Amino acid sequence: SQQGEEDPQALSIQEGENATMNCSYKTSINNLQWYRQNSGRGLVHLILIRSNEREKHSGRLRVTLDTSKKSSSLLITASRAADTASYFCATDVGNFNKFYFGSGTKLNVKP
Amino acid sequence: NAGVTQTPKFRVLKTGQSMTLLCAQDMNHEYMYWYRQDPGMGLRLIHYSVGEGTTAKGEVPDGYNVSRLKKQNFLLGLESAAPSQTSVYFCASAGGNSYEQYFGPGTRLTVT
């Protein structure tokens, strides 16, 4: 499988703390995306990082990409209870906007 | 804009029955996708389409067929449902110069 793999599978933190989750993948990519899924809902796009980028920011989100290690990390700073969700990385390995999703990290932010 | 909608939201089938899931998008997107999500497995791509009249296989296409007769619609068919197809099915679309995929709310299918 070309899926990315997120680590850890589950993460529980207190509100205000930072949350870091990692994604590793197997083959060269064009870009990598992170998505959030609230329980019982569809996925929502968070951020995209291209293979020639090393770091990207969006609000409280910081994404890094290390193509030599085939890994990416998503950092959520100053977490809130509303950040409780599952987070998935998705890798684009070819044409046609075809992506492979990992199995996700389940984040629980305790108020 | 409704974005991406899916019909139905829930369905229970008996083994061997057939059904069609409908996905519709109003964003004029070229690309459309069908995924299934099983506990602990993330999303797996079933079939996708790069434009009206085209379809292609994803990671787990067996047991499913698709059609994209209109740009805004992408249909997923199960000809003879099996318990292994019990899952949550998500449709997504993407277009223009953006790789961002927009997801529908999902269809929860149970096959008994």
Bigger pLDDT: A75 vs A31:
A75
- Identify the residue whose tokens are 């995924």: B35
Cα(A3)–Cα(A35) distance, rounded to whole angstroms? 14
pLDDT tens digits, residue range B29-51?
A: 999 999 999 987 789 999 999 99
Calculate what percentage of chain A has a pLDDT beyond 70: 95
- In the three-class reduction of DSSP (H, G, I as helix; E, B as strand; rest coil), residue A81 is classed as helix
Phi-psi region of A16 (alpha: psi -120 to 50; beta: other; left: phi over 0): left
| Mean pLDDT value across residues B6-35 | 96
Q: B-chain residues within 8 Å CB-CB of A103? A: 40-42
With contact defined as beta carbons under 8 Å apart, do A86 and A19 qualify? no
Residue type, B104: G
Cα(B96)–Cα(A51) distance, rounded to whole angstroms? 19
Of B41, B104, B106, nearest to A103 by CB-CB distance is B41
Is some CB atom of chain A closer than 8 A to the CB atom of B19? no
Across the interface, whether the CB atoms of B99 and A48 are under 8 A apart is answered: yes
Structure-block tokens of residue B103: 């997801």
| Mean pLDDT value across residues A4-29 | 93
Bigger pLDDT: B2 vs A70:
A70
With contact defined as beta carbons under 8 Å apart, do A47 and A59 qualify? no
- Identify the residue whose tokens are 């379809």: B55
- In the three-class reduction of DSSP (H, G, I as helix; E, B as strand; rest coil), residue B69 is classed as coil
| Mean pLDDT value across residues A21-46 | 92
Give the pLDDT confidence score for residue B33 in this predicted structure. 96
pLDDT tens digits, residue range B56-98?
A: 999 899 999 999 999 999 999 999 999 999 999 999 999 877 7
Is B99's pLDDT higher than 90?
Answer: no
